């Protein structure tokens, strides 16, 4: 025991300061791809290289519609390598959590040349700029719930990659409990469900029962490309696809797997949704009482 304490004192503080300070990312870290739709002369190579179908082309009457779905993207970088025009590049961005599934989808329309290449007419983006997590998180949770935030993690059929990152949330570096957030063993004690993996057909009933056992007001966070869309597995004979095919989802966290800071960013976004929901519920209660 003395040696453990001695080692701890010699190391000093190891906990990262995120979200107050940007995290230190490894040199080889890959975030989401970024697309310059104006300069993207031909999306076909990237669409063919994408292993999850996150990039989709549709041609109709001389127009080409390109759709990029971050909910399917696993940040593999194949699209960047396939795009010779340099219009696609892998960034180091990871704060992509969204409360609306449609916010993870980018679209652009192009007029087609005779050789099949295209030039942009118009594009729409989802505003994926990160929503800055609030300061004083622990105080906000305390004022919202009057206690700590309790999370029940549910593995609906994942490869355990996301679980590794979730476990890291509790290590000395990320230490999620410093915000008043902890994991519980029973959904009956939980405020939030953190669901990973494509929902396998064997886990469908268990997930529905877990959601039903969680008391209101409850939040559901779908983790990773698999939790959002089924990811590399998709929907098939053994899988139903994303979590929202089975239960309602409040926040989506893209990535394969999302790093711990991305998970924390999504949890904080869900807290904001919970605050809005509880506020509207209280307003409705007061109206009924009057």
* CATH value at residue 163: 3.40.50.12280
- Least confident piece of the model among 19-33, 44-58, 109-123, 244-258: 109-123
Averaged pLDDT for residues 43-71: 91
pTM: 0.84
How large is the average pLDDT for residues 21-34?
89
Assess whether 119 and 181 both reside in one domain: no
If 0-12 CB within 10 Å is exposed, 13-18 middle and 19+ buried, where does residue 288 land?
exposed
Q: How far apart are CA 40 and CA 36, in angstroms?
A: 6
- Residue 266 inside a domain? The answer is yes
- Most confident option among 14-23, 121-130, 158-167: 158-167
Please report whether residue 89 resides in a domain: yes
109 and 155 in a single domain? The answer is no
Pairing of strands 149-155, 181-183: parallel
Residues 179 and 249 in one domain: yes
Q: Quick check: is 7 in a domain?
A: no
282 and 212 within one domain: yes
Pair 161, 42 in one domain: no
Domain region containing 112: 33-96+103-124
* 141 and 119 belong to one structural domain: no
pLDDT confidence of residue 131: 40
Asked, for residue 80, whether it belongs to a domain, the answer is yes
For residues 77 and 40, what is the distance between their CA atoms, to the nearest angstrom? 16
pLDDT at 103 over 70: yes
Residues 86 and 209 occupy one common structural domain: no
Q: Measure the CA–CA gap between 26 and 48, rounded to whole angstroms.
A: 29
Which residues pair with residue 54 across a beta bridge?
A: none
Tens digit of each residue's pLDDT (9 = 90 or more) over 190-224: 999 999 999 999 999 999 999 999 998 899 999 99
User: What pLDDT is attached to residue 287?
Assistant: 35
* 203 and 274 co-located in one domain: yes
Sort residue 83 into left (φ over 0), alpha (ψ -120 to 50) or beta.
beta
- For residue 49, tell me if it sits in a domain: yes
pLDDT band at 135 (very low <50, low <70, confident <90, very high): very low
Residue 277 confidence (pLDDT) above 70: no
Q: Give a yes or no: residue 26 inside a domain.
A: no
Average pLDDT, the chain: 85
Residues 116 and 165 in one domain: no
* Helix residue spans in 19-136 (DSSP H): 44-49, 78-82
Question: Domain check: are 110 and 45 in the same one?
Answer: yes
Tell me which residue has tokens 């590049």: 89
Q: How far is CA 219 from CA 47, 76, 211, 244, 254, in A?
A: 34, 29, 9, 12, 17
Give tens-digit pLDDT for 169-194.
998 888 888 888 999 999 999 999 99
Name the more confident of 18 and 2.
Answer: 18
> Counting beta carbons within 10 angstroms of the beta carbon of residue 264, is it exposed (0 to 12), middle (13 to 18) or buried (19 or more)?
buried
pLDDT of residue 289: 34
119 & 146 share domain: no
- Give how many domains the chain has, as a whole number: 2
Question: Would you state the pLDDT for residue 243?
Answer: 96
Q: Are residues 119 and 141 in the same domain?
A: no
279 or 76, higher pLDDT: 76
């Amino acid at each position: 025991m003395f040696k453990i304490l001695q080692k701890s004192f010699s190391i000093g503080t190891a906990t990262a300061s995120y979200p107050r300070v940007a995290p230190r990312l490894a040199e080889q870290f890959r975030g989401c791809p970024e697309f310059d739709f104006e300069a993207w002369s031909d999306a076909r190579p990237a669409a063919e290289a994408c292993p999850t179908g996150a990039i989709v082309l549709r041609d109709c009457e001389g127009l080409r519609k390109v759709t990029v779905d971050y909910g399917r993207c696993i940040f593999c970088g194949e699209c960047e390598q396939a795009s010779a025009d340099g219009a696609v590049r892998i960034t180091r961005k990871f704060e992509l959590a969204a409360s609306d599934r449609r916010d993870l989808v980018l679209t652009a329309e192009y007029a087609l040349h005779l050789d099949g290449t295209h030039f942009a007419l118009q594009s729409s983006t989802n505003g994926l700029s990160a929503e800055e997590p609030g300061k004083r998180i622990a105080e906000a949770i305390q004022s919202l719930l009057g206690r700590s935030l309790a999370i029940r993690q549910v593995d609906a059929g994942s490869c355990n990659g996301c679980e590794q990152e979730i476990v890291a949330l509790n290590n000395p570096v990320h230490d999620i409990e410093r915000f008043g957030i902890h994991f519980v063993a029973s959904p009956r004690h939980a405020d939030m469900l953190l669901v990973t993996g494509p929902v396998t057909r064997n886990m469908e009933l268990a997930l529905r029962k877990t959601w039903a056992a969680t008391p209101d007001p409850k939040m559901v966070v779908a983790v990773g490309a698999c939790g959002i869309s089924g990811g590399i597995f998709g929907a098939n004979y053994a899988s139903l696809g994303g979590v929202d095919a089975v239960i309602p989802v409040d926040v989506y966290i893209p990535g394969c797997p999302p790093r711990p800071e991305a998970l924390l960013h999504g949890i904080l976004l869900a807290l904001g949704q919970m605050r809005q929901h509880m506020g509207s519920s209280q307003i409705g209660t007061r109206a009924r009482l009057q």
